[in-house]
Amino acid sequence: MLNVTAMSTGLLRVEPTSSSVLINNTITASSTTITAIANVSSSAENPTVENLPENVNVLLVVIKGIIMGTIITTAVLGNMLVIASVRRHRRLRVVTNCYVVSLAAADLLVAMCAMTFNASVELSGGKWLFGPIMCDLWNSLDVYFSTASILHLCCISVDRYYAIVSPLEYTVIMKQSTVGCMLGSAWVLPALISFIPIFMGWYTTKEHLEYMVKHPESCEFRVNLPYALISSCVSFWIPGLVMIIMYYKIYKEAIRQRKALSRTSSNIVLNSVHHHRSSTRHHHHQQMLLQAAADTGELALHTAHFAVPTELHAVNGTSIRQQTKSWRAEHKAARTLGIIMGAFLLCWLPFFLWYLTTSLCGEACYTPDTVVSVLFWIGYFNSALNPLIYAYFNRDFRDAFKDTLKSALPCCAGHCWKTPSQFV
């Protein structure tokens, strides 16, 4: 409704009534509300760390730092403990533990050269602080040591296969030169998919290389499809397949040997019972012969003849016990290393599934950066997990760890009580 008022000039002025003012105020308030809702919706659709309150952001950084620091510390100390324990204790210096020590060295370098730089990127909000050359070096070291760790596990599975399936030929096959070649391959092959293609720029696209030159504060590792397929096969899929096949054959052979050993033990028990019964009957007969032989001078001959079966039985029993002890030791080592292989698959399979699928489908398979970081660190965690598995499942390593720690802790406090010669 409009209020028409006569003016002294004879003109008419249209003034809004109170209802009009109310309508205008309502429209203005609604516009303000809509704008605010749009801003909130925009923030919700594009969540970033900056949108979070400052105290929440700091808390997340602290939590990430604690988790990453714990994994790095566990990997460094645990693998150093493995190396020191094998060096200190002679009973651990067997062929299989050559692979274990080399694996511990690879895991130790993963923690020192790969995890540390990754943690710096995560805790700095995604910024790379060390320049483009160090970026290529970090990516190369990350791929190199992670692949070396995985190839060592593959070598261990092959070693256990021959130790269990072909124990008589094991010492002939796994000579020192053979072990050296296998370990050398585990350290040389990763260089072919890390330093060479990364420093030559073969691993990615031309556009990404240009982007990296213009943005030195970024260190993104974006790969092209050929590199993704080749590197994932060398680093994971082929070694993983070899390990699965080896341990499947080891499992079948272990069941067969267990059944054979059980039958042998049963036969020994039955033969012992039969021998005992025969001995009892034979004893009475021998008593009569000995009494008769005492008068004819044949006592020594009959006594020696009577002792032969008992001595032979003792030799057979000792041989069976030695075979059983050796069989159990080999299978205990195979079980421990089988658990290590299972942990390896659980830790690295999610990452390589993401790595392969993202490379195949490109932008259509977008994955949030947080999820990618979690997959990376689950894989890294495998390098910290191996020493824990040794300590829990292998008694020899567990005892060696305890002895090494008892010797190391007083030295850390400045109270060494062992002479240097005792550490050799």
Residue 220 falls inside a structural domain: yes
| Rounded Cα–Cα distance for residues 27 and 33 (Å) | 10
- Using alpha carbons, list the distances in angstroms from residue 297 to 275, 282, 283, 286, 397: 28, 21, 20, 15, 60
pTM greater than the 0.75 cutoff? no
The confidence score (pLDDT) of residue 259 equals 78
Residue 12 falls inside a structural domain: no
Residue 365 falls inside a structural domain: yes
**CA dihedral sign, ordered 403, 406, 412, 417:** negative
Which residue type does 244 have? I
* Domain total in the chain: 1
| Rounded Cα–Cα distance for residues 306 and 302 (Å) | 6
Residue 325 falls inside a structural domain: no
Residue 292 falls inside a structural domain: no
Please name the residue that has the structure tokens 């760790």. Answer: 149
Residue 295 falls inside a structural domain: no
Find the farthest-apart pair of alpha carbons in the chain and give their distance in angstroms, rounded.
170
CA-wise closest residue to 141 among 90, 192, 195: 195
Residue 29 falls inside a structural domain: no
The confidence score (pLDDT) of residue 253 equals 83
What's the CATH code of the domain at 398? 1.20.1070.10
Per-residue pLDDT tens listing for the chain (424 residues): 333 333 333 333 333 444 444 334 444 444 444 444 444 444 444 444 445 567 778 888 899 999 999 999 999 999 999 999 999 888 888 888 899 999 999 999 999 999 999 999 999 888 898 988 999 999 999 999 999 999 999 998 899 888 888 888 888 888 889 999 999 999 999 999 999 999 999 999 999 999 998 888 889 888 999 999 999 999 999 999 999 999 888 888 878 877 777 766 655 655 555 555 555 555 555 555 445 544 444 444 344 444 444 444 444 555 555 555 555 655 666 677 778 778 888 999 999 999 988 888 877 788 888 898 999 999 999 999 988 887 778 788 888 998 888 887 765 555 554 444 444 3
The confidence score (pLDDT) of residue 360 equals 84
The two three-digit tokens of residue 401, written as one number: 């760890």
Residue 254 falls inside a structural domain: yes
The confidence score (pLDDT) of residue 43 equals 43
- Using alpha carbons, list the distances in angstroms from residue 274 to 130, 262, 280: 79, 18, 10
The confidence score (pLDDT) of residue 248 equals 86
The set of residues, in sequence order, having a beta carbon less than 8 Å from that of 357 and lying 6+ positions away, is: 365
The confidence score (pLDDT) of residue 115 equals 94
The confidence score (pLDDT) of residue 39 equals 47
- Could you list the residue range(s) of the whole structural domain that residue 102 is in? 58-273+330-407
